[in-house]
Amino acid sequence: MNVLVTGGAGYIGSHTVVELINAGHNAIIVDDLSNAKADVVDRIQTITGTRPVFYELDCKNIDGLRSVFSAHKIDAIIHFAAFKAVGESVKKPLQYYRNNLDSTFALLEVMEEFGCKKFIFSSSATVYGPNNPHPYKEEMPAIQSSSPYGWTKVMIERILTDYVTAHPDFCAVLLRYFNPIGAHESGLLGDDPNGIPNNLMPYIGRVAAGQLEKLTIFGGDYPTPDGTCQRDYLHVVDLAVGHLKALEFAKDREGAEAINLGTGNGISVLELVNAFNKANDMDLPYVIGPRRDGDLPAFWADAEKAKNLLGWEATHTVEDMCRSAWQFAKNAGK
């Protein structure tokens, strides 16, 4: 299949492009490089032996998307491109709504023009909001969130579901995933955001590499065993494989389907820091800071639906995630 991957030079997108190529698909990347680096395309080529087609393009640009669709017969979309920092979204809601919603509208409009009917959406566990109990199950109401970032995911899921109702031959797979960390085993791909990282593991990596002084853990007084937030951390390669499975699932199906991608285990921030220390023989400096806007105390997945429908389940351990993340972080920027 010819698969258009928006945000394909980013963290999850680049790992997914590797899995697509290794599975024999043709990957066409659209990325505006606002939170990614152009040399990721070179690294993908080094890993796979195949260079994906790359367009430096904001996917809100409808005319630019039309040019891409005209140049390639696109069979399916995997839509990663979005602003994604929970805390930042609380401070900059208008930017998040404009960017995340407009990019989806543009894609759907161009897909309709060119007859493309398969859409794999990068949703999030944040759609379950603050009131559902964990573990989160797909049948729970996913119509709330604790941040503007999460609300964009809620809204896009609604848009896609309504679009499917109006176009019954369309297939949208809504992948609600949890907290990806880790890196490719080659050490060539990983989470390397521009500027100061908003996510935990790349921040840990930069502290470990001596680029940042210490880690600040946001909140130590949550109602959890050690007072720090609990999350469902999964290896980014497992997550990438989940997108490949979703693409195979969508190939001969119609309608909208929401599916969790997670391990089903809750791990606290302090537990993750200690696992990183143990896996890499370190002693990272950290302090406990105030809570961060938009964070929930604890959540993790019920991952049975992904196992039953997609034949997918996470295979990497927390130690695998921590070792691979450090392997990438110590080489990043060299």
Options 55, 96, 149, 203, the catalytic residue? 149
C-alpha closest to that of 160 among 194, 110, 213, 118: 118
Copy the structure tokens of residue 155.
């809204």
Return the residue matching tokens 């109401």: 141
Q: Which residues of 33-67 are buried (b: 16+ CB within 10 A; e: fewer)?
A: eebbbeebbebbeebbeeebbbbebbbbbeebbee
Distance CA 101, CA 150 (A): 12
Q: Is 149 a catalytic site residue?
A: yes
Paired with 67 in beta bridges are none
The catalytic site residues sit at 149
